[in-house]
Structure 1
Amino acid sequence: MNTRKTLLAASLGALPLIACGPAAAQMMSAPVAQTAQAKAAVLAQLQARRAANGLGASHGYMITVQHPGMQGTQVVRAAHTYKGVRVFGSESVVVLDKAGHIVSESDSHRRDFLGKGGAKNMGAPAIDFSVKPAISSKTAIDAAIATVGSNSTHISPPNAELIIYPLMRSERLPSAAGKPEAELNALDLQEVVDSYELAYLVHTRMVKGDQPVYFDTVVSARDGHLIDQWSMLQTVVGVGKSQYNGDVPINTTLVNGQYKMIDDTRGTGGTFGAMAITNANHGTSAGSVYVNSTNEWGDGKQYVSGGSTTDANGQTAAVNAMWGLMNTYDMLKNTLGWQSLDGHNTATYIAAHVNNNYDNAYYSDTCRCMFIGDGRSFYSLGSIDVIGHEMGHGVTAATSNLTYSGESGGLNESASDINGEVVEAYARAGGQGETIPATGNDWVMGKEISKTGTPLRWMYKPSKDGTSPDAWSTTLKRLDVHYSSGPNNRMFYFLAQGSSADAASDYYSKFLVKSPAAMTGIGLDKAYRIWFKANTTKFTASTNYADARNKMIEAAKELYGKQSKEATAVQRAYAAINVGEDVDEL
């Protein structure tokens, strides 16, 4: 194969993983595949802790994910099981040293009432909990499809996993017993298991017309009734002439006299062997990789509806996508040592021109890839922050896998918004270097794709969209995840940039009552490192706002010290959104 790169091919593709200065200790380890022996050793260490945790012999663990950690460590995620069946949302995240010994464990407690262990139980129904289903997985799939799939076509076969599903409720801590509802802080409540249901978790990935219909559905394994359901459509509502960024360098591959939009300096394996951009050509499938007779792509203009998707005008959407993909990959690798979406350098791709005049972009868990629409009310949805947002979903899916519903779903969306802003800052500064620039992003999502110039979301004051709240409240879990993300977005802005003491300012929080009245930010680079460490090594699928705050504080202390200004800033940033109490700065 004859490979030719454009402009920054050598420099961007070969940037070193070894950092200098204070960021050096915060780089991710190289990917290491766990052997069967190593996995067995981790499971043995976890099982040895059961008695101390009040758990009986029916409780077990099942390794689900392994990825790099920092400073030579590896991270293993182990689902909690009972009688061999996974307990939904209950898991342990363990960090292993080079010898494979557990050095830390972060877990979620949603299994403690099952069985006959030392933990307090919920009585006979939990002690004698049966894991024998009364209906088949096919019956459960049919029940799920009946709720979402009328006149829809499968793009991947539906599947059903038998699970134990904890039904949760919130209860007040004794210290908050007399507080009015409107005055509650996130740390005044705790989530507890109300009861358990044997159920099937059904995954359906379908299209209706040209619209994707992705759902996860929880169906009772006793009688087939619907228990819960949430959408899994994770969206944002050579030299290439980019629509938003002028002439930009993009990597392509020359094969038999034709240039392909495949970047073989980034990622390995996957569908196309390296990072790639495909042409969906108004369909719902990815289509084939973009090909051109010359190594100049696009015209820098909005796609003309109904026109060719392969001429210069049609290529512009592909240029937007490739530039966003390259910069997201490089930001993660060069600043954190994290390779591709999964940390293992597995190649992904982006499909441009999905559907007709499609006003959306989304990440698909079936292909671990992204789809970008041309827009009708919007311009092409391939702006740098949107691409960074969608690729952020891939990172979360490979690590914490925050359940896309309730508070955890809001945190999932916020993780992607944060990623989009960080990628934007990195790209605007030239897409190189081992630290994230302090400036360059605009702290709003989707302003470039808006035909009116009105952003989709404001990180610094979410309520400017008319729906998103600025702070946590008990109603947060009932909001769409694109709105329940708002408070955490604001937290991250305050953590990076600080706040204002002026009550009339968009950057003011009434919950900051300690000194100084305007909290001090720690910069985008440090803020992102703390967030990334918490999301990849501490969050579990069921992490809520209160849990996120606690684990963010842990991450800050591990990175910068127990008494550090960074750890204090995390406490203040969460206090600013009504999660925990405010503290004085050191």
Structure 2
Amino acid sequence: MRPFSDHHVRSAVVKRLTSVGAVAVLAAAGLAVVPAGADVRTTPLPDSGFNQPSAVQAEQALSAKTAVALGLAKGEVLQVRDVVRDADGTEFVRYDRTFNGLKVVGGDLIVKRDGAGAISQVTYNRDAAKVGLASTKPTLSQAAALAKGAESAGFKATTNKGQLVVFVTESKPVLAYEVVTNGVKPDQTPSVLHSFIDAKTGKVLAQDDEIKTGTGNSMYSGQVSIGTSAGFTLKDNSRGGNWTTDLNGGTSGAGTTFTDADDVWGNGTTSSRQTAGVDAHYGSQLTWDYYKNAHGRNGIRNNGVGARSRVHYGNAYVNAFWDGTQMTYGDGQGNQRPLTSIDVAGHEMSHGVTEATANLNYFGDAGGLNEATSDIFGTLVEFSANNASDKGDYLIGEKININGNGTPLRYMDKPNKDGRSQDCWTTGTKNLDPHYSSGPLNHWFYMASEGTGAKTINGVSYNTASCNGTTFTGVGRDVVGKIWYRTLTTKLSSGSNYQAARNGVINSAKELYGAGSANCIAVQKAMAGINVPAGTATC
């Protein structure tokens, strides 16, 4: 679950809106084996489209043959997670792995097949081509691992369970326990915390929380048209059945689906419980339409199935989150500022898209890339909505007044204006909370879109500078959005870092717009402009 702000959550890693605190060649096999983010030179292709679930099933039937072709070790089994198909038949197949029956955390890889079905390249997460271990017998007892996980959670556990896994660190795979601790934090945010504990030493290797902190009269968007169903319920059958429920102050359960007598919902203020429902429902509608129209994606998981939005969570809960299956919104300070604005809804639902594709970790550089992805697409949803009451901008959460002083939660042109985020990437970026390590990528997106220098957009003034002193012109947010979406869905894996992102956007831009194109050069300049070191990819 990823909370939206310093008060937000991620999916069976809670994503909140805010924070709480070499290319090797296998000549014999004819495969190009590429570490995550390395340069992949390909012929320029048209914009990507996505396959239906049947494509996943077809690729799964080939998984055993694929494992042999890749020379994977005995005991390694591939499981298809996602398939992206280009117009020329090129496919990018994303796999997870198991080893001797154990889940491999960080063992994901991307196989590229040409139109004839031949494998042309493989991108391994963290260059982990092999994930086998000499032994899967732990030294640490399961009981000790469970105790360590519960202790490190920092809240009272309601459930605490664990299993042995292979955990791929930055240097090697190790045997570990994955301890999943459920509970509620002091600020009312639910937590489904995954702690990865070395099965020999007892060291906590990493932690990842599933909770990611993501005609009606709305509070923030004016009078809007929303999708409802027969009997006047907040269920949008034209968008996979997206529906919205009222938790009525609860912190668990599905809530009650909103209904109405005349299909006129809310009154634009918190005096009507429907108002927050209208905003959340409208936000999910806009986000669905953005992904469909801009990227051909049919819902969060690209399977045509909608998701639930729950409003009125807890008491004066100042956050919103994605928990792996649904969006949840608090009512804010004094229960008067629901966290249901357009960019917040787009942010939370985008955590779901990230989870269904690259599945970026919520720690290290990958955590910042994860959180920035939600800010980027939340911003693009807001611009695409073209709503007169909530015009597009490069400010995150400006409508919800989460700071209580009229300032936004985050600034994409100058991330460090919030006092915590970084404008420029450093070797220490990976040590920050994801809401702050997201700063460099947010800064990249703004500069690639709008360029450096002063600019006024929809009445908001911006003035940004690159970290390396260069000046350049942007190529527009829609172009950069397409490049980042292709990077997310075909180039990045769970442990990708900022250099992988730099290589990824350059290669994606080359595939979409051609080598040497203005669009490629712009995203390359912007990556250099946030001080991400040059990798293997160039325009």
Q: Which residue of 2 aligns with 1:66?
A: 82
The answer to whether structure 1 residue 211 and structure 2 residue 189 are counterparts is yes
Q: Give the superposition deviation at 1:483.
A: 0.3
Q: Give the superposition deviation at 1:68.
A: 3.8
Q: Which residue of 1 aligns with 2:349?
A: 391
Post-superposition Cα deviations, 1:488-529, rounded to whole Å, max 9, x if no partner, equal 000011111111299xx831114144xxxx212111111000
Q: Which residue of 1 aligns with 2:18?
A: none
Q: Which residue of 1 aligns with 2:472?
A: 519
Post-superposition Cα deviations, 1:403-437, rounded to whole Å, max 9, x if no partner, equal 0001100000000000110000011169xxxxxxx
Kept after mapping to 2: 8 A contact 1:199/1:220: yes
Give the alignment partner of residue 419 of structure 1, picking from 372, 377, 382.
377
Cα distance in 2 between the residues matched to 1:283 and 1:59: 45
Given residue 163 of structure 1, which amino acid in structure 2 is its aligned partner? V
Three-state SS of the structure 2 residue aligned to 1:48 is: helix
Post-superposition Cα deviations, 1:280-312, rounded to whole Å, max 9, x if no partner, equal 1111123121111220110101x25xxxxxxxx
Given residue 251 of structure 1, which amino acid in structure 2 is its aligned partner? G
Cα distance in 1 between the residues matched to 2:126 and 2:189: 37
Instruction: Count matched residues.
Output: 481
Cα distance in 2 between the residues matched to 1:142 and 1:97: 49
Q: Which residue of 1 aligns with 2:285?
A: 326
Cα distance in 2 between the residues matched to 1:113 and 1:105: 13
Kept after mapping to 2: 8 A contact 1:411/1:488: yes
Kept after mapping to 2: 8 A contact 1:69/1:95: no
Q: Which residue of 2 aligns with 1:350?
A: 309
Q: Which residue of 1 aligns with 2:256?
A: 288
The answer to whether structure 1 residue 245 and structure 2 residue 221 are counterparts is yes
Shift of the 83–110 alpha-carbon distance from structure 1 to 2, 3 Å rule, reads farther
Q: Which residue of 2 aligns with 1:261?
A: 234
The answer to whether structure 1 residue 235 and structure 2 residue 213 are counterparts is yes
Give the alignment partner of residue 443 of structure 1, picking from 394, 401, 404.
394
Kept after mapping to 2: 8 A contact 1:358/1:376: yes
Three-state SS of the structure 1 residue aligned to 2:230 is: strand
Q: Give the superposition deviation at 1:553.
A: 0.7
Given residue 509 of structure 2, which amino acid in structure 1 is its aligned partner? A
Cα distance in 2 between the residues matched to 1:339 and 1:551: 23
Three-state SS of the structure 1 residue aligned to 2:239 is: coil
Q: Give the superposition deviation at 1:216.
A: 1.3
Three-state SS of the structure 1 residue aligned to 2:474 is: coil
Cα distance in 1 between the residues matched to 2:167 and 2:408: 38
Compare CA radii of gyration and give the structure with the larger one. 1
Q: Which residue of 2 aligns with 1:507?
A: 464
RMSD: 2.9
Kept after mapping to 1: 8 A contact 2:366/2:497: yes
Cα distance in 2 between the residues matched to 1:99 and 1:581: 33
Greater shift, 245-254 or 90-99, is seen at: 90-99
Three-state SS of the structure 2 residue aligned to 1:346 is: coil
Cα distance in 2 between the residues matched to 1:159 and 1:103: 41
Kept after mapping to 2: 8 A contact 1:42/1:101: no
Kept after mapping to 1: 8 A contact 2:424/2:467: no
Q: Which residue of 1 aligns with 2:245?
A: 278
Three-state SS of the structure 2 residue aligned to 1:77 is: strand
Cα distance in 1 between the residues matched to 2:203 and 2:110: 32
Shift of the 162–421 alpha-carbon distance from structure 1 to 2, 3 Å rule, reads same
What percent of counterpart residues are identical? Answer: 36
Q: Give the superposition deviation at 1:278.
A: 0.6
Q: Which residue of 2 aligns with 1:409?
A: 367
Kept after mapping to 2: 8 A contact 1:463/1:470: yes
The answer to whether structure 1 residue 315 and structure 2 residue 274 are counterparts is yes
Q: Give the superposition deviation at 1:32.
A: 3.4
Q: Which structure 2 segments of 5+ residues have no match? A: 1-44, 456-461
Given residue 575 of structure 1, which amino acid in structure 2 is its aligned partner? A
Cα distance in 1 between the residues matched to 2:247 and 2:110: 37
Q: Give the superposition deviation at 1:466.
A: 1.0
Q: Which residue of 2 aligns with 1:187?
A: none
Given residue 283 of structure 2, which amino acid in structure 1 is its aligned partner? G
Shift of the 512–343 alpha-carbon distance from structure 1 to 2, 3 Å rule, reads farther
Shift of the 510–141 alpha-carbon distance from structure 1 to 2, 3 Å rule, reads closer
Q: Which residue of 2 aligns with 1:92?
A: 109
Three-state SS of the structure 1 residue aligned to 2:453 is: coil
Kept after mapping to 2: 8 A contact 1:201/1:219: yes
Given residue 453 of structure 2, which amino acid in structure 1 is its aligned partner? S
Higher RCO (C-alpha 8 Å, min separation 6): 2
Q: Which structure 1 segments of 5+ residues have no match? A: 1-23, 116-127, 169-192, 268-273, 305-312, 431-438
